[in-house]
Amino acid sequence: MAKRRPLLWQIYPAVLVLLLLFLVVLYGLLSDILTKKLLEEKKSELLIRAAFVQSMLAPFAKEPLDPPAIDRLCKTLGHQTSTRITIISPDGKVWGESDKDPASMENHLSRPEIQQALRGQTGFDIRSSSTLRERFLYAAVPYAPNNQLVFFIRTAASIHQIDQMLVHLRRKMLLAGIPASVLLAVLLWFVCWHLTRPLKKMEAAAKQLAEGDLNVRLPLASTREFASLAKAMNKMAEELIRRLDLITAQRNEQQAVLTSMSEGVLAIDTQNRCISINNAACRLLQISTAEPVGRTVAEIIRHTQFHDFVQKALSSTDSLEEHLTVYETDQSRSIQVRSSVLKDRAGKRFGTLFVLNDITDIYKAQRVKTDFVANVSHELKTPVTSIKGFIETLLDGAKDNPEDLQRFLEIMRRQTERLNSIIEDLLTLSDIEQQADKSSISMQITAILPLLKEAAECCRHQAERKKIALQIDCRPDLTANVNTSLFIQALVNLIDNAVKYSEENSSVFIRAFAEKQTICIEVQDQGCGIAKEHLPRLFERFYRADKARSRSLGGTGLGLAIVKHIVQAHGGSVRVESTVGKGSTFFIILPSTQ
């Protein structure tokens, strides 16, 4: 780009050149006028002298002419008037000359002033005299009485003094014009600077506006045009502030909406670069880049399936939908992705919008529901099938054998009890959920130690049969806001499981203590432990880590699910820690009453 000059250096040199040209032209005009004035005066003087010579020559104009007498008169008059006087015949021959001998002079008919006089005019000419080597002004008039040309009277005078006077005057004009020109140049500089100074201020203000300082305002200049421009720029700044405030408010609202959305939102342009992204999208797509905006999708997202979907979405004009699976450290997430085209006001596509929904919980709920239906069907079908089979066996004749009858009836009793236990547990779960949904569970602040003792007492008989010691560790003053009957049921389920899965001659530890604004209750056994992959689903209905052993111990698969729902109804949570071969510890965490 060519270097641009400031406005001052564009205006000032041009105006200065025009000013100097004006001064030169003025100098020439004044010099020409003065020269013409002096020459006119000299011409008038020569004509007056010519008229005087004409009056003196009138007596000599009679035939026959006497050239010598005319020459003598010319010399006398020339000496008296300090004027060169020449009398020239109609054919150009010099008859009289005040300064030279006429006989030695050439024919003068071709002289410009004689040619003009020959046409009946007053002739003038300025030239250097070949005789006297000096510039002369010549004036020639015809002498023609009765319209009969007799001779030409030519007067001449040196203009050397006029030339010297003009040189002197021109020198004075130059001497006066140089300082005047300098002064005018300085004044011109000041005027140009004064005119361009408001533009400098406007330039500085415009730079501040461009840098984002919209509070700057331009002072109103004394010049009307500059004042109007300053008003326009001030109005523009105010309008920019208004629009930026509106855009900022809209952007903040949009950002707040995007941030608060549980759905992930990602917008990319046609070059695969991120335009906008919210926190939910970063979390779902595991984006760890600090500043993802402006980067390509390949740079911020490490997911091949999503990249393929992006390419399909960019090449399509329709909305697309796809399910993705994102693998995390210890689990996988199911994500539903929808795409839609982004267009500007002109209808031209400038990008694509992606909306991501985490449907992992929905998939899990569907899976739990499916597993629950299958488990319920299986759990109910097993005792029903067993009972049906033994009834058919009895009907087929086994009832006539007392020993088979007794054995079959005992098995049917056990299966009936198991079926009854399943139904009771299901009803208990349903009742707990309904009470929790209606917030109708009555609770009161109760000491925990008596509850632990009562729950342990319920399991004492089973523990004594396996010679398992139930050890309780709890401060007497420790309290919690609980529903006594439901909470004891949860404790009984945990202690009962601990006893069931513990080896003989071992111990089950029951502890309760306050920790970080919560009440923590632990039930620890010394059993076989639970593999790590089963822990996340252990509190689901009918989920068993070891199905064969669980059924052989008489479990319904609903005990831990009941514990979870009871604790959640109390505003608490449950978790489990287990090591295979060393035992398991179940935790109930309740809000503190302190």
Q: What is the pLDDT of residues 158-186, one digit of tens each?
A: 877 777 777 777 787 777 777 777 777 77
Average pLDDT over residues 29-50: 84
Look-up of token digits 């005066």: 41
Report the top-level CATH class of 441-591: alpha beta
- Torsion angle, alpha carbons of 456, 461, 466, 471, to 10: 20
**Would you say 139 and 50 are in contact if contact means Cβ atoms under 8 Å apart?**
yes
Query: How far is the CA of 591 from the CAs of 107, 442, 474, 577, in angstroms?
Result: 145, 16, 17, 20
Global pTM exceeds 0.95:
no
Q: Is residue 413 classed exposed, middle or buried when 0-12, 13-18 and 19+ CB atoms within 10 A define those classes?
A: exposed
Query: How far is the CA of 384 from the CAs of 10, 188, 396, 404, 429, in angstroms?
Result: 107, 116, 18, 19, 22
pLDDT of residue 329: 63
pLDDT of residue 587: 92
pLDDT of residue 581: 82
Q: How confident is the model at residue 4 (pLDDT cuts 50, 70, 90)?
A: low
Q: How confident is the model at residue 511 (pLDDT cuts 50, 70, 90)?
A: very high
3-state secondary structure 321-369: EEEEEEECCCCEEEEEEEEEEEECCCCCEEEEEEEEEECHHHHHHHHHH
Cα 200 to its chain centre, rounded Å, is 27
pLDDT tops 60 at residue 2:
no
Any long-range contacts for 522-525 (C-beta under 8 Å, 24+ apart)?
522/585, 522/586, 522/587, 523/491, 523/494, 523/495, 523/498, 523/585, 523/586, 524/498, 524/583, 524/584, 524/585, 524/586, 525/497, 525/498, 525/499, 525/501, 525/583, 525/584, 525/585
pLDDT of residue 101: 86
Percent of the chain predicted with pLDDT > 70: 78
Query: How far is the CA of 225 from the CAs of 198, 204, 231, 264, in angstroms?
Result: 11, 18, 10, 54
pLDDT of residue 426: 61
Query: 263-353, superfamily in CATH?
Result: PAS domain (3.30.450.20)
- What would the two tokens of residue 74 be? 């010319």
Mean pLDDT (the chain, rounded)? 78
Residues facing residue 513 across a β-bridge: 520
- pLDDT tens string 290-346: 778 888 888 788 778 888 888 888 888 888 888 887 776 666 778 888 888 888 888
138 versus 252: the higher-pLDDT residue is 138
**CA dist., res. 529 & res. 372, Å (int):** 24
Query: How far is the CA of 351 from the CAs of 298, 314, 341, 500, 552, in angstroms?
Result: 16, 8, 6, 62, 62
Look-up of token digits 């389920």: 493
pLDDT of residue 11: 65
- pLDDT tens string 379-394: 555 566 666 766 777 7
**DSSP string spanning 89-152?**
-TTS-EEEESSS-GGGSPP-TTSHHHHHHHTTS-EEEEEE-TTT-SEEEEEEEEE-GGG---EE
Q: In this structure, which amino acid lies at residue 298?
A: A
pLDDT of residue 31: 78
Q: What is the residue extent of each domain of the chain?
A: 8-164, 222-260, 263-353, 364-436, 441-591
Average pLDDT over residues 27-36: 79
pLDDT tops 70 at residue 562:
yes
Q: What is the DSSP letter of 296?
A: B
Q: CB within 8 A of 575, min separation 6: which ones?
A: 586, 587, 589
Looking at CATH, the fold of the domain delimited by 8-164 is given as Beta-Lactamase (3.30.450)
**Would you say 282 and 292 are in contact if contact means Cβ atoms under 8 Å apart?**
yes
3-state secondary structure of 457: helix
pLDDT of residue 509: 92
Q: How confident is the model at residue 436 (pLDDT cuts 50, 70, 90)?
A: low
pLDDT of residue 6: 61
**DSSP string spanning 379-399?**
HHHHHHHHHHHHHHHHHTTGG
Q: How confident is the model at residue 544 (pLDDT cuts 50, 70, 90)?
A: low
Looking at CATH, the fold of the domain delimited by 364-436 is given as Helix Hairpins (1.10.287)
pLDDT tops 60 at residue 551:
no
* The domains spanning 8-164 and 263-353 adopt the same CATH topology: yes
pLDDT tops 70 at residue 253:
yes
**Would you say 139 and 47 are in contact if contact means Cβ atoms under 8 Å apart?**
yes
